[in-house]
Amino acid sequence: DTAVSQTPKYLVTQMGNDKSIKCEQNLGHDTMYWYKQDSKKFLKIMFSYNNKELIINETVPNRFSPKSPDKAHLNLHINSLELGDSAVYFCASSQDGPGEQYFGPGTRLTVT
Amino acid sequence: AQSVSQHNHHVILSEAASLELGCNYSYGGTVNLFWYVQYPGQHLQLLLKYFSGDPLVKGIKGFEAEFIKSKFSFNLRKPSVQWSDTAEYFCAVISLTGGFKTIFGAGTRLFVKA
């Protein structure tokens, strides 16, 4: 009964490829997020969705496209992967915008 | 620009030592404040939070934090650390005006020597 799950856990791919990371939460939360954690452990928000609607879109290259088919799912698609995209990507959810967030286990993306 | 600063990037302590990790933020308005912990190889978990009321909040595993509004600070404390507290600690701030964006500090890596 994992609260926030992500697949895959590890993703190794070559530059130029397109890949997707899936996220699902079973907490009934309204808001979901994607974060990028770089090699220095710095966490930066990328996107936030509330009830399938995009509410935060940070300065992220448009190669990154989030998709929320329903409020329990927020997937991240990345086109034309670059070396600098290598990081751990965390999905999170919260009941509402200003509340505590529940994080998924992370997806370690390595671009070679 | 809005920011969150954690003053200590790496902290090494012996077991039973006291811990204080600093966190300062630059928002001018009302905020919600959080400390999250990331144990090695695990995802982030909430340690404690402050929304309003008593500025001294208690969290899990004996941690506490004090919100000092005049100093824009939310420092994390624990009177006696254990080896199992070895982890990365993140302070996070959500401004209640302007879209509820969460800003994380850069994190503090704590290593507790047994």
At CB < 8 Å, which residues of chain A contact B?
A: 4, 33, 35, 40-45, 48, 55-56, 90, 92, 96-106
| CA separation for the pair A59, B19 (Å, rounded) | 35
Q: Which of A98-112, B25-39, B90-104 has the lowest mean pLDDT?
A: B90-104
B 77-96 → A contacts, CB under 8 A: 88, 90, 94, 96
Mean pLDDT over the full length of chain A:
93
| Model confidence band, residue A1 (pLDDT cutoffs 50, 70, 90) | low
| Model confidence band, residue B78 (pLDDT cutoffs 50, 70, 90) | very high
**pLDDT value at residue B50:** 96
| Model confidence band, residue B2 (pLDDT cutoffs 50, 70, 90) | confident
Q: What percent of chain A has pLDDT over 70?
A: 99
Q: What are A79-108's pLDDT values in tens digits? A: 999 999 999 999 999 998 789 999 999 999
Q: Is the pLDDT of residue B81 over 90?
A: yes
Q: Is the pLDDT of residue B95 over 90?
A: no
Among A36, A53, A100, A107, most B C-beta atoms within 10 A, so best to mutate, is A100
Q: What percent of chain A has pLDDT over 90?
A: 77
Phi, psi torsion values for B61, nearest 5 degrees: 60, 30
**pLDDT value at residue B27:** 81
B99 in contact with A, Cβ within 8 Å: yes
Q: What are A10-25's pLDDT values in tens digits? A: 999 999 999 999 999 9
Q: Which residue from A43, A92, A106 is facing B90, i.e. has the nearest CB?
A: A43
Q: Is the pLDDT of residue B99 over 80?
A: no
| Model confidence band, residue A56 (pLDDT cutoffs 50, 70, 90) | confident
Q: Tell me the three-class secondary structure of chain B, residue by residue.
A: CCCEECCCCEEEEECCCCEEECCEECCCCCEEEEEEEECCCCCEEEEEEECCCCCEEECHHHCEEEEEHHHCEEEEEECCCCHHHCEEEEEEEEECCCCCCEEECCCEEEEEEC
Q: Is the pLDDT of residue B104 over 70?
A: yes
Residues of B in Cβ contact (< 8 Å) with A96: 100
| Binary contact (A43, B34; C-beta < 8 A) | no
Q: Is the pLDDT of residue B22 over 90?
A: yes
